[in-house]
Chains A and B, each alone.
Chain A
Amino acid sequence: MGKKKNVQPPPPSTSTLPDSIADGEGNVVGEGAVVEEVKKEGVKPLEVLYCQGELRYPIDVGCDDDLVIVCSFPPEFCEFGSSLTRCKAWLHEEHPDLFDKYYSEDALVEKTALLSTEAATKLEKDTAKKEAKAEAKARAEEERKKEAKVIVKRIERNKRKYVTSISGLEAFGIDLKKAAKLFAQKFATGASVTKTVTGGEEIVVQGDVSDEIVDMFEEANESSKESALKGVPEDNIEVVEEKKKKGGD
């Protein structure tokens, strides 16, 4: 402790003595007092810049749980994070001078000179791999949501008697209980959450209300109001019909 050798450059000096420690006549006052006052101030902290490069998971379906990972490293360490491309873009935009410092040709040459070529290539590959992995994960999540379907099914129970089932809502982060309650209120009828044979859950509403349900999803998306039905894009809703099997009477 207390070594002075090869220590980091000391924090920015706070020794800029106020120029105007002078009385009205232009005489400098109390030299000793000034020194003591400076000493009492303590050492100001170094200002550390934290990278705001973001890895955004671009999910367009309007769910609230879009994943955004902010790098938060001091920019010199971004090369070891998992969002280097975004970090570089951010730094280039916000701090072009630092961008040049860290990513100019010269900087890169200097950096790779510190490592054997083999190790340098490995490092670059690792970074690329990490980024690719994070991106792939984001994309998979996005795809999953894009391809997920909510099935609104009209099911004939008896002659002229129908129920409507809504399945596949989990993929869009919909709370099924809350949604069922909304349907029950809207149609003044029973709506229940039941397990499906495939292991998922579905809402079953009494009556043939498929079209109205599609409308409700649409309205929820367009409205600025909070709704348990928000987040399922119209294109991801499929309306199907299940006819009563022949001879099943």
Chain B
Amino acid sequence: MFKKFSAADASGQSILKSSVQRSIRATLLSQMNWDAETLELVWPKKEALVLVKCRDHISIYTVQGEPLFFQHFDGPFFPTLRLLQKYPSLLPKVQVDRGAIRFLLAGAHMMCPGFTSKGGWLPDADAAIPKEKAVAIFAEGKDHPCGVGLTKLSSEEIKSVNKGVGVEIVTYLGDDLWSLKKL
């Protein structure tokens, strides 16, 4: 999503109406794993949320110029990877094996076997992740998440199908959103 991206792709910035900001705040709390007080630390109520419209229907949301969240069309909100690394449990965790890391950092979508091999990890059935859900992508042997993804199959399907793309990568370590510290 942010492989060939630059600030020039932003077509305009606007401060959102406070009613819209309120509803986004509620959405962020329902879609991610944190409480209002923690969100307040990241995005204080007194700070305006700015919408930066970008090409291909990507919306980036910034606070004081720092990109914090983004969204594709009306899809789920994703935290930027920098924010996710600060709060690693914001999204459900999945893990790829070490062999998949270099593909991930080249922007490739993650195939099922990367999650089901010995170094990979998926939650047990009782905590299964549905499809079309934002996830934090961790990697074998590493402490920090290195990507944010969108599940294309549920975590149980990834286990049973075990081929093809399991998780699409929306942002990863070193892509152009990572490099963009201020917008």
Contact = CB atoms under 8 A, between A and B. Distances in A.
Contacts of B179: 72
B138 A8 contact: yes
Contact of A42 (B39, B85, B89, B144): B39
Nearest to B91: A1
Given A76-B144, A77-B173, A8 B88 contact: yes
A72 B119 contact: no
Residue from B41, B123, B144 having most chain A Cβ neighbours under 10 A? B144
Interface stretch (A16-24, A111-119, A134-142, A160-168): A111-119
Contact of B93 (A7, A46, A111): A7
A1 B119 contact: no
A170 interface: no
A6 B37 contact: no
Contact of B89 (A8, A74, A77): A8
B173 A73 contact: yes
B39 A46 contact: no
Contacts of B25: none
Contacts of B142: 76-77
B99 A119 contact: yes
Interface in A181-232: none
Nearest to B102: A80
Interface residues of B, number: 43
A241 interface: no
Contact of A43 (B34, B85, B119, B123): B34
A121 to B, nearest CB: 13
A117 to B, nearest CB: 13
B150 to A, nearest CB: 15
Kindly name the residue among A1, A3, A81, A110 whose own CB sees the greatest number of chain B CB atoms within 10 A: A1
Contacts of B33: 1-2
B9 interface: no
A109 interface: no
A110 B98 CA distance: 12
Contact of A48 (B121, B123, B144): B144
A58 B112 CA distance: 43
A5 B124 contact: yes
Q: Which residue, B42, B87, B178, has most C-beta atoms of chain A within 10 A?
A: B87
10 shortest interchain CB distances as A-B pairs: A42-B37, A45-B86, A42-B38, A3-B127, A8-B88, A42-B41, A43-B38, A48-B85, A74-B144, A114-B98
Given A1-B92, A43-B35, 16 more contacts: A3-B123, A6-B121, A8-B138, A42-B36, A42-B37, A42-B39, A43-B34, A43-B37, A43-B38, A43-B41, A45-B42, A46-B88, A72-B178, A72-B179, A77-B173, A114-B141
